[in-house]
Amino acid sequence: MRNTSRRNGVSNVYQLIGDYTNPILKPEAAQAVKKAGEIASTGVTYPTPSNQCWPGGVPFIFWNIGMQIIQQPDKIAILDSNDHEVRHIRLNQPHREPVTPSWYGDSVGRYEGDTLVIETVGVRIGPFAMVDMYGTPHSPALHVVERYRLLDYEAAREAEERGERGNFRLQGSDPGLAPDPNYKGKGLHLEFTVEDDDVFTTPQLINARSPRWANGRNLSAPRTGTNTTPERTLRCRLRTSRISEPNTPPFAEGLLL
């Protein structure tokens, strides 16, 4: 979805007006995006899960400015900084049958080579249910597939710079908002697909930015045979993480959006 509101030639983060004429949207969804844009164009922020303090669901939750990932052999927990939102992902297990709708859905993960793949279904529909900041709705048919993998420094930097050419970077006093110019390690790339036959005419593939990293912290998993609980933790903020090669499996330890 494209923001039709511009600021200094790039997407205006202070006024989000989605392109409701985009052919990917079915008529009812287009009307929802149009209505949200009409409210935003008056200078009033339209209701979203975040500004109404409601659970965001997936993929709306990806907007979070800070998060923590904790991985154990059979599960992953993702803790987001805003509104104490938490996701639980079971590894190498099927979806529950039947799936009971919940705020963050039923998420299961697996590894495909060096890529962590997470699939989510059964996201509950609340009064402000949407998949993005433009008011795009979702239905019970929503299916989200996330793919995380590490990029080498140069590829991650190029991806971030490409994103900044079309998006406004928020300025703030929090040093976590600024990239560390001295860090030359790897960055995390997130690619996710959103499928919803009641909303979109075709599945939507989104490439999230690959961050540069500062002030993040890695705790690598202990090796097999130790008596410590095998878990990895990463704390990070917007565009800030330090990502290290894990032991096993090859988990990309971070997510920044």
For every residue of 191-236, DSSP letters joined together read EEEEE-TTTBSS-EEEE-------S-EEEPPPPTT-SS---EEEEE
Do 179 and 161 meet the contact criterion of CB atoms below 8 Å apart?
no
The pLDDT of residue 220: 30
Alpha-carbon distance 124 to 248, whole Å?
33
> Other C-beta atoms within 10 Å of 215: how many?
18
> Other C-beta atoms within 10 Å of 17: how many?
23
Unique residue bearing structure tokens 């991985």: 71
Alpha-carbon distance 68 to 79, whole Å?
5
Give residue-wise pLDDT tens across range 200-241.
999 988 876 555 443 333 323 323 333 333 344 343 433 323
Alpha-carbon distance 89 to 146, whole Å?
12
The pLDDT of residue 182: 82
Beta bridge partners of 187: 151
Which structure tokens are listed for 245? 């090669």
The pLDDT of residue 176: 54
Alpha-carbon distance 55 to 35, whole Å?
22
Alpha-carbon distance 125 to 127, whole Å?
7
Alpha-carbon distance 32 to 165, whole Å?
28
Residue segments in the chain with a per-residue pLDDT below the cut of 50? 173, 212-257
Rounded to two decimals, the pTM is 0.78
Rg (alpha carbons) of the chain, rounded to whole number: 18
